[in-house]
Amino acid sequence: MKYAMPERDFHKQTDDVMENSIFIGLSRQMVLQDNMDIVANNLANMNTPGFRGQNLVFNEYISEPRGQEDPIRMVYDHTQYQVTEPGPVKRTGNSLDVAINGPAFFGVQSADGTGVRYTRAGNFSVNANGELITPSGHLVADQGGGTITIPDDASEINIDKNGSISTQDGEIARLMVVEFDNVQTLYPEGNGLYAVDGDAVPMPAANSTVEQGMLEGSNIEPVIEMTRMIEISREYQKVQKILENEHERQRTLIQKMTGNS
């Protein structure tokens, strides 16, 4: 004798199965995809001066599906944070290369004029107007947020530990060098630049110094990032296999409940 479940109860049970298994599996794959994007970006910037690796921060997401007393708990990517260990510092001998010894950041002007952005990359150069710029063309900010212009007749450029820039004729400007109580309040915008998130206030550098003729590299360790990429890929494949098995289980369940072979 075959038992036929009432249509309403049957659909309720199959809906519950769908929400409790397929939905959770798909949400897991979405998180893994975001994590893979972060790792891939880290690897792509392993040779970028001043680059700091990013990692995901996970949080709990609670869903209350229809018709169920117990909520479904899942994990989703809440935000990302930067790895704060400095990259290796190498001597370049270039008078416009500067590295920061300490937790501070250089200030640069945003391309859209919306304010100051911050960077650890100190591989500066001079544009056609004599202005100090970053490799992506952003104007390097002075202590007050203005531009820094190097005189055409400058035969030597010296940058001291406080960020003061001098030529043979004396001081011409001072680099904006600032620190934050919590560097995680900065979020990446690309091109090695960070913007302030929330009410974080930049403060004059008290625990940092500037080193001329030096350049900080990326803090990415390629072997570690490659290992993370392999682990994420394997986890994604594992979840995909679970989803395939769950789909087959549901198909078999439906066939038995409807009396179809």
What one-character-per-residue DSSP string does the chain give?
------HHHHHHHHHHHIIIIIHHHHHHHHHHHHHHHHHHHHHHTTTSTT---EEEEEEEEEE--TT-SSPEEEEEEEEEEE--SPPPEEE---TTBEEEESS-EEEEE-TTSS-EEEES--B-EE-TTSBEE-TTSPBBBBTTS-B-B--TT-S--EE-TT-EEEETTEEEEEB-EEE-S-GGGEEEEETTEEEE-TT---EE-SS-EEEETEEE-----HHHHHHHHHHHHHHHHHHHHHHHHHHHHHHHHHHHHHT--
pLDDT at 67 over 60: no
pLDDT of residue 28: 79
**Stretch 216-243: mean pLDDT, rounded?**
92
**Stretch 133-142: mean pLDDT, rounded?**
94
**Stretch 44-51: mean pLDDT, rounded?**
93
pLDDT of residue 75: 63
pLDDT of residue 10: 41
Share of the chain above pLDDT 70, in %: 83
pLDDT greater at residue 254 or residue 36: 36
pLDDT at 179 over 90: yes
**Stretch 58-75: mean pLDDT, rounded?**
57
pLDDT at 261 over 60: no
Share of the chain above pLDDT 90, in %: 54
pLDDT of residue 2: 37
Structure tokens at 235: 């986890």
Indicate the pLDDT class of residue 109, thresholds 50, 70 and 90.
Answer: very high
Q: Which pTM was predicted?
A: 0.77
pLDDT of residue 5: 40
pLDDT of residue 243: 83
Mean pLDDT of the chain: 84
pLDDT at 250 over 80: no
